[in-house]
Amino acid sequence: MIPTRPIRFNLAHSQGLAVYACSRGREIGTDVEAIRSDVPDEGVAEQFFSSRELAEFRSLPPELRVEGFFLCLDVTFLPAL
């Protein structure tokens, strides 16, 4: 008999964009976030970012803070859920 490995899948969606991921025999996860300029807030960053990440976020020029916020949030907070 051939051993079977379970198929695992994960789905993420945001603002009309979807990401599907499939694997056999391994857990898998994926994420997609719409970048919204009304969300980045230093209070959220202070609560969830490490001191290094918060310093990097604060050092960004204003025109890069929105993208920087979502990159830090995705790397630090979301995987902990």
Check residue 77 and give its pLDDT: 47
CA 68 to chain centre: 12
What are the structure tokens assigned to 48, written together? 């969830």
Can you give the residue ranges of every domain in the chain? 1-34, 38-81
Reported as a single tens digit per residue, the pLDDT across 7-55 is: 999 999 988 989 999 999 899 888 887 777 776 677 888 887 888 888 8
